[in-house]
């Protein structure tokens, strides 16, 4: 089966409002930038993979009227619909099609225009209507309960979580596409920001963003013609958890679906020491505590060591393993695009195209994850080296 | 490629959806909700292989991939495994109205169950609410056969405190 690579990426400049454009225009900005980055036109795209969040903008089957936005008339257009992970699922769908040899070049697209919809209302309909919906506490209440399980098990402090919030918004200042840029943010400001649901304060949470992300992906023989240094997809993994929110005994403290994808990815890649074997990680961290919990679950540090991991500066942009040099989800969250942004940012790092937030001149191996509210996880490893060569 | 246009006064088109739904509860939920309504009893389904007792009850164990067999009483008391006080208002998914804040919210492991449920807790002081605390359910006087027949859980305070 052919190797598959990302050969071009495009993002909007993510913002809290984009009243100047409609949804197709917003998505098209990212598509145009991805096509330009890869140096291709719609004519060279064989198929389109697209994902976005159901119900967030009150839309269903919007691929019908978005087809021309993606240049998809007369071509296969596949819609992906997996919630928070949709951006990674869409990427992996395109990967499977290219890997199977069906197509040469695929355009992958994700977007969200949250200012036009009712995201929290939509999220409360995600739970099972009989068993869970009446008690749903929205994304923030649910995340606060999950964070409390991690705090209880790890002893991570509010100050240590605040350091994650600070890191994200300072890194965002180096990223022209990032939404929430706070160059002078301090730990004290995070701790003084409004309490939403203990332990989560306003600055511990991701923002509500409007934006889009697109990528051009290509198979062996085509990828090399479109990029001097393609970001090869060396491994992918996806796993669901059980049906209900309370099924996973430790929730955020022990994220079963993330552990499942980690085990498969690391086994395939021979990774036993991720801090030394990975050059950068772009992980889907919806809030500050979650990033530390995810770093533990990804074995970036020992169990219960998330607080010491950030204290030691290991995930800083100039640290031993930079985590979310883009500013991450804490700085930018157009949900239907968010997980794809993790992949695109990881690809930019491998391709050497991350500009001011390029972590080092030669990123060989990058990890990207997608997160579906603990119910499921996706993860990909991108490499500068072509996997089969 | 043309540059994006930036209208001076953006135009918006409004839409409002009011949709009604009616979900079939299925056999497990029907049995369980009748137990809540008639006997104020919690019951889970048990996996014959790993012996996990599932709450909410379900037909198949997702770990062993085998059908669950039989009902087992659980609770009514339990232990908090995760907790918060929600202070930010948001839309109640049942009523469509803003739910009053603050309110206590927790993951609860009922005695004898292997999986947690989440529910409201009668405590809004976050310093008095935490992992490991014991709770008991507070049932409504008028029960309709819904998981909201349990209005919430109250903390079981140690004697003398």
Q: Give the model's pLDDT for residue A248.
A: 83
CA B109/CA A247 separation, integer angstroms: 10
Q: How far apart are the first and last CA of chain B?
A: 71
**CB-closest option in A130, A140, A249 to B29:** A130
User: Distance (Å, rounded) from C-alpha A212 to C-alpha A111?
Assistant: 4
**Closest residue of A to B17, CA-based?**
A58
pLDDT of residue B5: 64
Contact A217, A93 (CB under 8 A): no
CA-wise closest residue to A3 among A104, A109, A107, A108: A104
> Chain-centre distance of CA B106, in angstroms?
9
| Residues of B with Cβ-Cβ distance to A145 under 8 angstroms | 82-84, 105-107, 118
| Cβ(A314)–Cβ(A320) below 8 Å | yes
CB neighbours of A40 closer than 8 A, spacing ≥ 6?
A8, A105, A216, A226
Cβ within 8 Å, pair B84-A144: yes
Which chain A residues are Cβ-neighbours of B118 within 8 angstroms? Answer: 132, 135, 137, 142, 145, 245-246
* C-beta separation of B40 from B32 below 8 A: no
**Closest CA–CA distance from residue A257 to any residue of chain B (Å):** 13
Pick the residue of B52, B116, B147 with the most A CBs within 10 A to test the interface with A by mutation.
B116
Q: Over pLDDT 90: what percentage of chain B?
A: 72
Q: What is the mean pLDDT of chain B?
A: 90
Which CATH number applies to A4-119+208-226: 2.120.10.90, 3.50.50.60, 3.40.47.10, 3.40.50.150?
3.40.47.10
The minimum CA-CA distance between B83 and chain A, rounded to whole Å, is 5
Would you say B129 and A145 are in contact if contact means Cβ atoms under 8 Å apart? no
- Please state, in angstroms and as integers, the Cα–Cα distance from residue A266 to each residue in A29, A72, A274, A281, A308, following that order: 35, 36, 8, 14, 23
- CA of B79 to nearest chain A CA: how many angstroms apart? 13
Summarised one tens digit per residue, pLDDT across range A311-332 is 999 999 999 999 999 999 999 9
| Cα–Cα distance, A119 to A140 (Å, whole number) | 12
What letter does residue A92 receive in the DSSP assignment? H
* Chain A to chain B Cβ contacts (< 8 Å): 138
Give the model confidence (pLDDT) of A221-237 as tens digits. Answer: 999 999 999 999 999 99
Pairwise CA distance, residues B77 & B83, whole Å = 16
Task: Give the rounded distance of the alpha carbon of B51 from its chain centre.
Answer: 23
Closest chain B C-alpha to A121 CA, distance in angstroms: 6
Span between the terminal Cα atoms of chain A, in Å: 13
Phi, psi torsion values for B82, nearest 5 degrees: -165, 140
pLDDT of residue B6: 67
Q: Which H or E run contains A231?
A: strand A231-240
Rounded Cα distance between A325 and B85, Å, is 32
Find out whether the peptide bond into A199 is cis, omega within 30 degrees of 0: yes
C-alpha span between B18 and B34 (Å, rounded): 30
pLDDT (0 to 100) of residue A251: 79
pLDDT category, B71, cuts 50, 70, 90? very high
Q: In Å, how far is A13's CA from the nearest CA of chain B?
A: 12
3-state class percentages of chain B: helix first, strand second, coil last, to nearest 5: 10, 30, 55
Q: How far is A164 from chain B (nearest CA, A)?
A: 21
- Whether residue A327 contacts residue A172, with contact meaning beta carbons closer than 8 Å, is answered with yes
Q: Is B98 exposed, middle or buried (0-12, 13-18, 19+ CB in 10 A)?
A: exposed
- Nearest-angstrom CA–CA distance, A168 and A204: 10
Write the residue in B25, B106, B115 that is nearest to A247 by C-beta. B115
A153 is written with which tokens?
Answer: 């098990």
Distance of CA A308 to the CA centre of its chain: 24
Q: Torsion angle of alpha carbons A299, A304, A310, A313, nearest 10°?
A: -60
Sheet with B53-54: strands ordered across? B53-54, B42-46, B71-74
DSSP annotation string for A302-368: -TT-HHHHHHTTTTSTTSSS-B-TT-HHHH---HHHHHHHHHHHHHHHHHT--GGG--SS---EEEE
Nearest to A365 by CA among A385, A344, A345, A342: A385
The per-residue pLDDT for B4 is: 59
What is the C-alpha to C-alpha distance for residues B136 and B150, in angstroms, rounded to an integer? 10
Q: What burial class does residue A121 get, using C-beta atoms within 10 Å of its C-beta: 0-12 exposed, 13-18 middle, 19+ buried?
A: middle
Partner-chain residue, chosen from B23, B62, B107, that has the shortest CB–CB distance to A130 = B23
Which pLDDT tens digits describe chain A residue by residue (389 residues)? 999 999 999 999 999 999 999 999 999 999 999 999 999 999 999 999 999 988 889 888 899 999 999 999 999 999 999 989 999 999 999 999 999 999 999 999 999 999 998 887 788 788 888 888 888 777 888 899 999 999 999 999 999 999 999 999 999 999 999 999 999 999 999 999 999 999 999 999 999 999 999 999 999 999 999 999 999 999 999 999 888 888 887 778 889 999 999 999 999 999 999 999 999 999 999 999 999 999 999 999 999 999 999 999 999 999 999 999 999 999 999 999 999 999 999 999 999 999 999 998 799 999 999 998 878 999 999 999 999 98
Beta-strand runs (E) in A102-209: 105-113, 195-197, 200-201
CB-CB neighbors (< 8 A) of A131 in chain B: 29, 56, 147
Comparing alpha-carbon positions, the chain A residue that sits nearest to B86 is: A197
Contact B115 A198 (CB under 8 A): no
The predicted pLDDT at position A380 comes to: 98
Q: How confident is the model at residue B93 (pLDDT cuts 50, 70, 90)?
A: confident
Cβ atoms of A303 and A295 within 8 Å: the answer is no
Cross-chain residue pair A131–B10, CB shorter than 8 Å: no
């Amino acid at each position: 089966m052919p190797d598959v690579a990302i050969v071009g990426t495009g993002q909007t400049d993510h913002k809290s409002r984009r009243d100047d454009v409609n949804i197709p225009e917003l998505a098209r900005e990212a598509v145009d930038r991805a096509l330009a980055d890869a140096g291709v036109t719609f004519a060279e795209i064989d198929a389109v993979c697209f994902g976005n969040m159901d119900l967030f903008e009150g839309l269903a089957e919007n691929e019908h009227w978005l087809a021309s936005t993606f240049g998809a008339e007369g071509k296969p257009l596949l819609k992906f619909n997996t919630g928070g992970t949709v951006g990674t699922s869409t990427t992996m769908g395109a990967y499977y099609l290219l890997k199977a040899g069906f197509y040469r070049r695929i355009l992958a697209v994700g977007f969200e225009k949250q200012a036009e919809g009712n995201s929290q209302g939509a999220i409360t309909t995600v739970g099972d209507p009989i068993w869970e919906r009446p008690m749903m506490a929205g994304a923030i209440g649910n995340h606060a309960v999950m964070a409390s399980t991690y705090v209880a098990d790890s002893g991570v402090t509010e100050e240590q979580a605040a350091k994650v919030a600070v890191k994200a918004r300072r890194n965002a200042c180096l990223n022209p596409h990032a939404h929430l840029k706070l160059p002078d943010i301090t730990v004290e400001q995070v701790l003084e920001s409004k309490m939403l649901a203990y332990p989560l304060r306003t600055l511990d949470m991701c923002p509500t963003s409007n934006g889009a992300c697109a990528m051009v992906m290509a198979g062996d023989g085509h990828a090399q013609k479109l990029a001097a240094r393609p970001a090869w997809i060396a491994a992918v993994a996806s796993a669901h958890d059980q049906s209900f929110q309370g099924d996973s005994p430790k929730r955020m403290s022990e994220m079963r679906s993330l552990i499942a994808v980690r085990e498969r990815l690391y086994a395939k890649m021979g990774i036993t020491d991720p801090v030394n074997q990975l050059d950068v990680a772009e992980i889907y961290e919806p809030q500050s505590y979650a990033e530390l919990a995810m770093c533990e679950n990804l074995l970036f540090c020992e169990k219960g060591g998330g607080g010491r991991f950030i204290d030691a500066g290991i995930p800083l942009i100039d640290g031993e393993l930079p985590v979310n040099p883009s500013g991450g989800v804490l700085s930018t969250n157009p949900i239907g695009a968010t997980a794809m942004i993790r992949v695109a940012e990881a690809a930019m790092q491998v391709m050497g195209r991350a500009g001011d937030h390029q972590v080092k001149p030669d990123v060989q191996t990058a990890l990207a994850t997608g997160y579906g509210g603990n119910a499921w996880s996706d993860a990909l490893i991108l490499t500068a080296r072509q996997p089969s060569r | 490629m043309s540059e994006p246009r930036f209208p001076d006064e953006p135009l918006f088109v409004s839409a409002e959806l009011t949709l009604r739904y009616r979900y079939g509860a299925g056999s497990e939920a029907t049995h369980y909700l009748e137990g809540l309504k008639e006997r104020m009893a919690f019951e889970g389904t048990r996996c014959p292989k790993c012996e996990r007792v599932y709450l909410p009850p379900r037909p198949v164990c997702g770990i062993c991939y085998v059908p669950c067999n039989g009902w087992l009483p659980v609770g009514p008391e339990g232990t908090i495994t995760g907790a918060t006080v929600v202070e930010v208002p948001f839309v109640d998914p049942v009523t469509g109205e803003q739910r009053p804040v603050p309110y206590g919210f927790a993951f609860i492991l009922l005695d004898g169950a292997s999986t947690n449920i989440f529910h409201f807790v009668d405590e809004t002081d976050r310093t008095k609410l935490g992992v490991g605390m014991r709770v008991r359910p507070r049932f409504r006087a008028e029960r309709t056969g819904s998981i909201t027949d349990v209005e919430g859980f109250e903390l079981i305070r140690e004697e003398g405190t």
